[in-house]
Amino acid sequence: MKNVHTIKDEVSKILQEKIGITPVKTSLHAYPSKTWAQKASQHLLRGTSLKGVNLIPNQVRGTYHEGDFSAFIPEDLEDSVQIMYHEYFGHGLQTEYTPLGSYIHTLGAKWDKELEEANISTNDMLLNLMLNSQTYAKIRAIDEKTVTNCEGLALWTGWYISSLRGEDKDFEDLVSYVPEPHVEACVDLIRYSKKYGTKKMLEDHGYKLE
């Protein structure tokens, strides 16, 4: 079986050809699922930047840190490739190529810096900083407003890549545990892109394709 990094490089080439963009700032961090929870814990503080307090990292199947353009995934699960499509390409493209993504990146980077300067060592310290940080408040507010849309687009990206690679069944398996509103948002986007074309769908949703 090919590893996720090899597949990532293949997909990058395909996207570059098809839509003219692929993540360039985003890095992919893949870990064995055995140590995934522990690794996710190490990134716990940075992981809070958008996803709330991920205090149960073994329930998190992948995460994207907007502040420094990093995708984290478990590398040896049956659906690791699908998780990679979602985190690395889905959230990666959005963060790198849309104004909203760019705004969230700026906030995330600022929040990362605040966390670093506060030298957090306990959850209490973390919660306290969250309650008092203007940056964190802004992140929560924008997340609440945009999460369905952002997740819909990241899911759509996974669907698009899967359809290009004949992996529709794998995508459907992934979708089975995704929250319903996100799936609905994705279905709307699929309909839109089928009707108006992929590039038009992306451009209409803020992606800069050149």
Residues forming contacts to Zn ion in the complex (CB under 5 A) are 151, 154
- Residue 86 is classified by DSSP as I
User: 81 vs 154, which CB is nearer to Zn ion?
Assistant: 154
Pairing outcome for strands 27-31 and 63-65: unpaired
Write out the two tokens for 88: 């690395």
| Residue 134 CB, nearest approach to Zn ion (Å) | 25
Closest CA to 61 of 76, 46, 42: 76
CB-nearest residue to Zn ion: 154
Residue 209 one-letter amino acid: L
User: 96 vs 129, which CB is nearer to Zn ion?
Assistant: 96
User: 8 vs 129, which CB is nearer to Zn ion?
Assistant: 8
| Residue 91 CB, nearest approach to Zn ion (Å) | 6
- Strand-pairing partners, residue 64, are 71
| Residue 188 CB, nearest approach to Zn ion (Å) | 16
d(CA 13, CA 9): 7
| Residue 149 CB, nearest approach to Zn ion (Å) | 11
d(CA 135, CA 1): 42
User: 126 vs 154, which CB is nearer to Zn ion?
Assistant: 154
- Residue 88 is classified by DSSP as I
| Residue 154 CB, nearest approach to Zn ion (Å) | 4
Write out the two tokens for 91: 């959230």
User: 66 vs 151, which CB is nearer to Zn ion?
Assistant: 151
d(CA 35, CA 51): 20
Write out the two tokens for 58: 């073994």
